[in-house]
Amino acid sequence: MEQTYTEDQTLIQRIKDGDETSLVKIYKEYRPAFQQWAQHSYRIDEEQSADAFQDAVVCLYRNIVQGKLESLTSSLKTYLFAIGKNVVRKKLQQPITLESSELGLVENLHTDPIDQFATNDRQRLVARLMETIGEPCKSILELFYFRGFSMEAIATRLQYKNENVVKTQKLRCLTSLKNMVRERYQNEDFV
Amino acid sequence: MAENRFNQIDRYVSGLMAAEEVVEFEQRMRENLGLAEGVHLHRDILTGMELQFMRELKDRLILADIPEKKINWKLIALIVGGVAVLGAAGYAIYYYYLS
């Protein structure tokens, strides 16, 4: 039990440090059990259960890198299944009724399915624009805002002279993105 | 030097402002609609970016499901071995008739 806890904590630390293979390892390890459980419990098909599990792993990732999952009070599998349960129920639009043990686990965690994440058209437009923004903007913005890297870590990873250069580049990228949004948002029909 | 507006908005939206500064900043937002819209736009940009990064991460997970195409060394060895045997046999026949 102790060993499992240590292993889970190690995986979390590795993911925080930017090692995506640890996340893939978690994904591959728990996917069959989750899908079997979800298909049995919610009468959903294989595709739906796979989709929900992928969203749950993405939520797990966000919780880890955003520091919402610092120290585990249960196994990583229990967290992942509790998040997955929420994801399935939100996707099926069923009222969320969690057991008291699960409630405490996911109370402050991200559990939103990806397709329900955006709340307005401007956010969806930004997502589309991110596909065209190019490098180095994409990497800088992803490392800073999504992966939680410090400016210093980004400078090292992307081989910039120092963190100030990264800060300036990040500002340029965001300004350019804002201008693109302003321009397109006024031009496109969002009805 | 006064901090520029962009950085202030970024720190506010990212939750990196001190409590007293938040109160003062929100007061300014109520008085300045341009600032309020700037904050709203910044929030939408961060959410949209995150949405796209989440989608891309999900795509990478899906890719991890596809089994890697492994090189079939056994088949390659069999073909090379077969070619070698045929070559040797051909050479032996050629040598036999030549001599």
Average pLDDT of the segment spanning A145-158: 91
How large a percentage of chain B has pLDDT more than 70? 93
Label residue A187 by pLDDT band (50, 70, 90). Answer: low
Q: What is the pLDDT of residue B65?
A: 82
| pLDDT above 90: residue A31 | yes
Q: pLDDT band at residue B24, thresholds of 50, 70 and 90?
A: very high
Contacts with B, A 124-163, CB within 8 Å: 124-131, 141-142, 145-146
Confidence of residue A96 (pLDDT cuts 50, 70, 90): low
Nearest CA in chain A to B46: A145
Question: Does the distance separating the beta carbons of A129 and B47 come in below 8 Å?
Answer: no
Query: What pLDDT, on the 0 to 100 scale, is given for residue B45?
Result: 93
pLDDT at A74 over 90: no
d(CA B71, CA B76): 9
Q: What is the largest CA-CA distance in chain B?
A: 107
- Tell whether the model's pLDDT for residue A191 goes beyond 60: no
User: How far from A171 is each of A144, A165, A167, A176, CA to CA, in Å?
Assistant: 12, 10, 6, 9
Per this entry, what is the length of chain A? Answer: 191
List C-alpha distances in Å: A83 to A111, A148, B2. Answer: 6, 21, 43
The residue ranking higher by pLDDT, B66 or A191, is B66
pLDDT of residue A2: 45
Which H, E and C letters describe chain B, residue by residue? CCCCHHHHHHHHHCCCCCHHHHHHHHHHHHHCHHHHHHHHHHHHHHHHHHHHHHHHHHHHHHHHHCCCCCCCHHHHHHHHHHHHHHHHHHHHHHHHHHC
pLDDT of residue B1: 46
A172 in B contact zone (CB under 8 Å) = no
Please give the share of chain A, as a percent, with pLDDT higher than 70.
Answer: 90
Report in angstroms the alpha-carbon separations of A79 from A17, A19, A70.
Answer: 20, 20, 12
CA distance A122 to A128: 10
- Residues of chain B in contact with residue A23, where contact means CB-CB under 8 angstroms, are 61
The number of CA neighbours under 13 Å toward the Cβ of B23 is 2
Q: Which band of pLDDT confidence, cut at 50, 70 and 90, is reported for residue A152? A: very high
What is the rounded average pLDDT for all residues in chain A? 86
Model pLDDT, residue B68:
64
pLDDT of residue A10: 87
State whether ipTM is beyond 0.95.
no
Closest CB from B42, B53, B60 relative to A146: B53
Structure tokens at A47: 């595709």
B57, HSE (Cβ side, Cα atoms, 13 Å): 29
- Return the CATH number of the domain spanning residue range A121-187: 1.10.10
State the pLDDT confidence band at A101, using cuts at 50, 70 and 90. low
Residues in CB range of A99: below 8 A, 6 or more apart: none
Predicted TM-score of the model (pTM): 0.79
Whether B52 sits inside 8 A of A127 (CB atoms) is: yes
**Domain assignments of chain A as residue spans, ordered by start:** 2-116, 121-187
Chain B residues with CB under 8 Å of a chain A CB are 6, 10, 41-42, 44-55, 57-58, 60-62, 64
Residue A46's CB is within 10 A of a number of other CB atoms, namely 11
- In tens, the pLDDT along B46-75 reads 999 999 999 999 999 999 887 766 677 888
pLDDT at A188: 57
Report pLDDT for B31.
93
| Residue bearing the bigger pLDDT, A94 or B47 | B47
The average pLDDT across A20-48 equals: 91
Q: Residue A161 is encoded by which pair of tokens?
A: 């002279």
Going by C-alpha positions, the residue among B42, B57, B65 that lies closest to residue A114 is B57
Confidence of residue A1 (pLDDT cuts 50, 70, 90): very low
State residue A4's pLDDT score: 77
Predicted confidence at residue A190, as pLDDT, reads: 45
The closest alpha carbon to B45, from A173, A114, A165, belongs to A173
Binned at pLDDT 50, 70 and 90, residue B29 comes out as: very high
